[in-house]
Amino acid sequence: MQKYNISKSNYFYAIGLSYKKADADIRGHFSLDDDSKLALINQAKENNIESLVITSTCNRTEIYGFAQHPFELIQLLCDNTRGTVEEFQKVAYIYKNKDAIAHMFRVGSGLDSQILGDFEIISQLKISTKLSRKHGLLNHFTERLVNAVIQASKRIKTETNISSGATSVSFASVQYILNTVENVSDKNILLFGTGKIGRNTCENLVKHTKNEHITLINRTKGKAEQIAGKFNLLVKDYANLQEEISKSDILIVATGAQRPTIDKHIIQTNKSLLILDLSIPKNVNENVDDLEHISLIHLDDLSKITDKTLEARKQHIPSAEAIIKEVKSEFNNWLETRKFAPTIKALKHKLNDFATAELDTQRKKLSDFNEVQAELISNNIIQKITNHFAHHLKDDNVSTDESLELIKKVFLLEPSKKNV
C-alpha cells in the first residue's frame, strides 16, 4: 500500500479459511476463542504488525492485516490455534490489497456466508475491530474500510430482501427440526449453551415450534435464566445435564467450547435422540455415532438444506452486488486521494512560506498595512490553489503520478530523483 501513503513497506492481506474448502474438523483446528484472539493480538504487536482485525465464526476464520508477506499473518494464526501451516496451505486463501478489500466487502455483506444472507459475521467484525482499536492495532485505513463494509451491509439488509426470513445457522437448525420431526410441539427439547447462537436458536424455537417443553442449561446458570425469563422457559443446573438429556427427544448443543462437551458416556438413554451440534470446533464427540438410537447432525449438514426462501434470496444477489460496488467505489475514491494527500499538504506549506515572506515584505513597506485583511486574502488564495490542484489530481483523465511529479518539480517539494 506504499503508493497510497498508508504503509511504507507492507501490503494489506486477507488470509483465512472457510466452509468452502475446509470441513468442520479443520475449521475447528483454526478456531479462535477470546483468549486466543488476545494472545494473537499481543504477539502481533510484538512482531510490529501495524494493523490487524480477526474474525472467527462457525464457518470461517480470517485475519485482515498489514504485513510484508502473508506468512507473517499465517504464522500468527497457527501459533495461536491447533492448526498447522501444512493444513492451512491445503484449504486456505490469501488475498492482497484491492482483492483483500473486495473480499471483506463480500464477507461482511453476507454474500460469502455459508447460508446466503446470514449477517451474523458483521457483528463479529464490529467486535473484532473494537478489540483491535482497544489494543492500538487499528490504523486509519482499516477502520475506514470496516466502516465502509458495515455501511454496505446495512444498505443490503434494508434495501434488498436477501435476508428475508431468518437466514442463520440457528434458523437452519430449527427448520431441520420442523422438516424431520413429527409432532415437534410435543417433544422435549434441551438447549445446551446460551451464547449468541444459543440465544438465537432459542428465539427461533419459541417462534416456530410452538413448543412448551424447552429446557435450557448453561455452565453459567445466570445467563440461561436471563433468556428463560424472556420466553418463560425452564432452566436446569449444569449438574443435571445427564438427567435432562435422558428426558429429551431433541438435544441442541451450542456451547462454543474448544473441546467436546457431549460424548456417548453422558447419554444414558435408549430412546431415539436427535442431536444438533451448532459449534465450531465440534462440541459433540463423534463417538456418539456408536449409539444406534442417536441421530447426529452438524451445522455443515444444516447449511446444505435449501428451501424456497433460500432460492428466492439468490434473486437479490445482483442488487446486493450493486450496493457493494457503489460503497466500494466511494472507499476506493478516498483511497486514491491518499496518493496525493502528502503532496497537496507539502504544496500548501510551500505556498504558506511564499505568503509569509511576501507579507513580511509588504509589512515593512506599508505603514498602514492591514495585517488581518492581508492574511485572510492570502489564506483564501492558498486554499483555492490547493483545491484546484486536488480537483485536477482526482480527474480520471489525468495521469496522477505524472502530475504529482510535475507539481513536486515546479514547487521544489522534494529533491529531484535525478539528483539522488
Kindly report the backbone phi and psi dihedral angles of residue 307, in degrees, each rounded to the nearest multiple of 5, phi listed first: -140, 180
Give tens-digit pLDDT for 37-85: 999 999 999 999 999 999 998 889 999 999 999 999 999 999 999 999 9
Closest alpha carbon to 60 in 86, 92, 100, 96: 92
**Confidence at residue 416, expressed as pLDDT on a 0 to 100 scale:** 39
Give tens-digit pLDDT for 90-131: 999 999 999 999 999 999 999 998 888 887 889 899 999 999
Here the cell at position 128 is 473484532
Lowest-pLDDT range, 209-213, 314-318, 392-396?
A: 392-396
**Confidence at residue 396, expressed as pLDDT on a 0 to 100 scale:** 66
Residue 420 has pLDDT above 50, yes or no: no
Band (pLDDT 50/70/90 cuts) for residue 388 is confident
Give tens-digit pLDDT for 368-382: 899 899 999 999 998
Here the cell at position 271 is 430412546
Residue 418 has pLDDT above 50, yes or no: no
**Confidence at residue 419, expressed as pLDDT on a 0 to 100 scale:** 32
The CA distances from residue 3 to 11, 98, 197, in Å, are 11, 13, 42
Residue 212 has pLDDT above 90, yes or no: no
Active-site residue, from 22, 58, 101, 116: 58
Band (pLDDT 50/70/90 cuts) for residue 185 is very high
Q: How many other CB atoms are found less than 10 A from the CB of residue 74?
A: 21
Here the cell at position 350 is 510551500
Residue, of 391 and 41, whose pLDDT is higher: 41
**Confidence at residue 417, expressed as pLDDT on a 0 to 100 scale:** 44
Give tens-digit pLDDT for 268-315: 989 999 999 999 899 999 999 999 999 999 988 887 665 566 777 888
**Confidence at residue 219, expressed as pLDDT on a 0 to 100 scale:** 92
Residue 240 has pLDDT above 60, yes or no: yes
State the average pLDDT over residues 184-203. Answer: 92
As a whole number, the mean pLDDT across the chain is 89
- pTM of structure: 0.73
Residue 58: active-site member: yes
Q: How many other CB atoms are found less than 10 A from the CB of residue 381?
A: 12
* Contacts of 293 by beta carbon, 8 Å cutoff, 6+ apart: 269, 270, 271, 272, 273
**Confidence at residue 1, expressed as pLDDT on a 0 to 100 scale:** 62
Q: What percent of the chain has pLDDT over 70?
A: 94
**Confidence at residue 36, expressed as pLDDT on a 0 to 100 scale:** 96
**Confidence at residue 60, expressed as pLDDT on a 0 to 100 scale:** 94
